[in-house]
Amino acid sequence: GHTANKPCLAKFELLTSKWQMTSRKPPCVNSLPEGKLKILQDGLYLIYGQVAPSTAYKGVAPFAVQLRKNEAMLQTLTSNSTIYDVGGTYEFHAGDIIDLIFDDEHQVLKNNTYWGIVLLANLFIS
Amino acid sequence: GHTANKPCLAKFELLTSKWQMTSRKPPCVNSLPEGKLKILQDGLYLIYGQVAPSTAYKGVAPFAVQLRKNEAMLQTLTSNSTIYDVGGTYEFHAGDIIDLIFDDEHQVLKNNTYWGIVLLANLFIS
Amino acid sequence: GHTANKPCLAKFELLTSKWQMTSRKPPCVNSLPEGKLKILQDGLYLIYGQVAPSTAYKGVAPFAVQLRKNEAMLQTLTSNSTIYDVGGTYEFHAGDIIDLIFDDEHQVLKNNTYWGIVLLANLFIS
More confident residue, C48 or C77: C48
The model's pLDDT over C6-44, given as tens digits with 9 standing for 90+, comes to: 678 899 998 887 899 988 888 899 999 888 999 999 988
Cβ separation C91–A48 shorter than 8 A: yes
pLDDT per position as a tens digit, B72-116:
878 777 665 566 677 788 888 888 898 888 777 777 888 888 888
Considering only alpha carbons, which residue of chain C is nearest residue B46? C48
Q: Which of A44, A90, A126 sits opposite B24 (nearest CB)?
A: A126
**Does residue A118 contact residue A9 with C-beta atoms inside 8 Å?**
yes
**DSSP E strands: which ranges in A41-110?**
43-51, 65-69, 72-77, 84-92, 97-102
CA nearest to A120, candidates A48, A70, A37: A48
CB-based contacts of B6: which residues, under 8 Å, 6+ apart? A124
Contact A65, A96 (CB under 8 A): no
Per-residue model confidence as pLDDT tens digits over C89-123:
888 888 889 888 877 777 788 888 888 888 888 76
Residues B112, B101: Cα–Cα separation, whole Å: 15
Closest of A75, A79, C112, A36 to residue B69, by C-alpha: C112
Give the model's pLDDT for residue B125. 45
**Under an 8 A CB cutoff, do C48 and B89 touch?**
yes
Quick count: other Cβ atoms within 10 Å of Cβ C38? 14
DSSP classification of residue B23: B
Q: What is the CA radius of gyration of chain A?
A: 15
Domain spans of chain C, in order of start: 8-122
Region of A98 (left: φ > 0; alpha: ψ -120 to 50; beta: rest) is: beta
Question: Quick one: pLDDT band at residue A82, thresholds 50, 70, 90?
Answer: low
Chains interfacing with B (3 or more CB pairs < 8 Å) = A, C
Say whether C122 and A7 touch across the interface (CB within 8 A). Answer: yes
Residue B98 to residue A76: CA distance in whole angstroms: 28
More reliable by pLDDT, A76 or B43 = B43
Interface A-C, measured as beta-carbon pairs within 8 A, has a size of 40
- What pLDDT is attached to residue C115? 85
What CATH number should be reported for the domain whose range is B8-122?
2.60.120.40
Res. A78 pLDDT band, cuts 50 70 90: low
Higher-pLDDT residue of C83 and B45 is B45
Give yes or no for residue C1 having a pLDDT over 90: no
Of B119, B114, B100, B99, which Cα lies nearest the Cα of B40? B119
The number of beta carbons lying within 10 Å of the beta carbon of residue B68 is 16
Q: Which residues of B touch A90 (CB under 8 A)?
A: 48
CA distance C100 to C85: 12
Q: Do C24 and B121 touch (CB under 8 A)?
A: no
Res. C61: pLDDT tops 80: no
C17 touching chain A per CB within 8 A: no
Distance of CA C6 to the CA centre of its chain: 20
Task: Determine what percent of chain B is predicted with pLDDT higher than 70.
Answer: 87
User: Which segments of chain C are extended strands (E)?
Assistant: 9-13, 20-21, 29-31, 37-39, 43-51, 65-69, 72-77, 84-92, 97-102, 114-122
How many percent of chain C have pLDDT more than 90? 9
pLDDT tens, residue by residue, A46-59: 998 888 877 777 87
Residue C45, class by beta-carbon neighbours within 10 Å (0-12 exposed, 13-18 middle, 19+ buried)?
A: buried
Tell me the shortest Cα–Cα distance from B4 to chain A, in angstroms: 13
Confidence of residue A124 (pLDDT cuts 50, 70, 90): low
Of all residues in chain A, the one with the smallest CA distance to C125 is A23
State the nearest Cα–Cα gap between B28 and chain C, in angstroms.
16
- Tell me what pLDDT residue A35 has: 86
Residue A66 or C84, more confident: A66
- pLDDT the model gives residue C2: 32
Scanning A37-66 for CB atoms below 8 A from C yields 46, 48
- Give the number of beta-carbon pairs within 8 Å between B and C: 40
| Confidence (pLDDT) at A121 | 81
Half-sphere exposure of A9 (CA within 13 A, CB side): 21
Eight-state DSSP code of residue C101: E
In chain C, what residues touch B91 (CB-CB under 8 Å)? 48, 116
Find chain A residues with C-beta within 8 A of B13's C-beta: none
Residue B31: predicted pLDDT: 92
List CB contacts of B65: < 8 A, sequence separation 6 or more: B51, B76, B77, B78, B84, B86, B100, B101, B102
Q: What's the mean per-residue pLDDT of chain A?
A: 80
Mutate to test the interface with A, among C45, C89, C117, C122 (most CBs of A within 10 A): C89
Please determine, for residue B3, whether its predicted confidence score (pLDDT) is greater than 80.
Answer: no
pLDDT 10s digits, B41-56: 998 899 988 888 787 8
Check pLDDT > 50 for residue A3: no
C81, pLDDT greater than 60: no
Instruction: Report which residue type is found at C69.
Output: K
Supply the pLDDT for residue C4.
40
